[in-house]
Chains A and B, each alone.
Chain A
């Protein structure tokens, strides 16, 4: 069973701090990784994708990928209360039919 695992949280950080969200995956054949943000009662929204080892930065968000360790992370700098949401990690299984496997999500709370 191919899996994507996340700590469900909640992860609580003060406003202005760095939030670090982590994800591990079991399928070494996965080649691309995605982070989605989901506000309560809303649908998931794609915020970051990463395909190569290393870091990818987009504004206050940085995705980090380490394929050897099968580990993906999302860093949110200068966290704002508006970042409070559930963050879902996703990866396609090898064979890559276009289907994604989602983690359970980590709930982030940013306290003013």
Chain B
């Protein structure tokens, strides 16, 4: 089974903190994605990556950055956490084309 592991299930951080969300997949997938999900707004793509050291902005990249130094790991960074970044964050991975995603279990981040 493809496994996508997110390092934390629940996280509480203070406004202004730098926050790292980690995601690791074990099936050698080229593509990795970070989404946030909020009630009524659905899944919104933050960043994605097709290969090591490659990244592309999604629909809502402001306030976020990413890092992909190794194929299996894709990190989402909140440079200076704000309360409007309180959300469920979902990491996913997939093969290059024509395949669905496998999602991690999600990180529910609360910024206070």
A-to-B contact residues, CB < 8 Å: 31-32, 34, 36, 42-46, 49, 51, 88, 90, 92, 96-100, 102-105
Q: List 28 A-B contacts (CB under 8 A).
A: A31-B98, A32-B99, A34-B100, A34-B101, A42-B105, A43-B90, A43-B105, A44-B90, A44-B103, A46-B101, A49-B99, A51-B98, A90-B100, A96-B97, A96-B98, A97-B50, A97-B97, A98-B30, A98-B31, A98-B95, A99-B45, A99-B48, A100-B94, A100-B100, A102-B43, A103-B42, A104-B42, A105-B42
Instruction: Kindly provide the distance from the CB of B71 to the nearest chain A CB, expressed in whole angstroms.
Output: 14
Give the chain B neighbours of A103 by CB distance below 8 A. 42
**Contacts beyond the supplied A43-B105, A103-B42: 11 A-B pairs with Cβ under 8 Å:** A31-B98, A36-B100, A43-B90, A46-B100, A46-B101, A92-B98, A98-B94, A98-B96, A98-B99, A99-B48, A100-B101
> Which residues of B are in contact with A by a Cβ distance under 8 Å?
30-31, 33, 42-43, 45, 48, 50, 90, 94-106
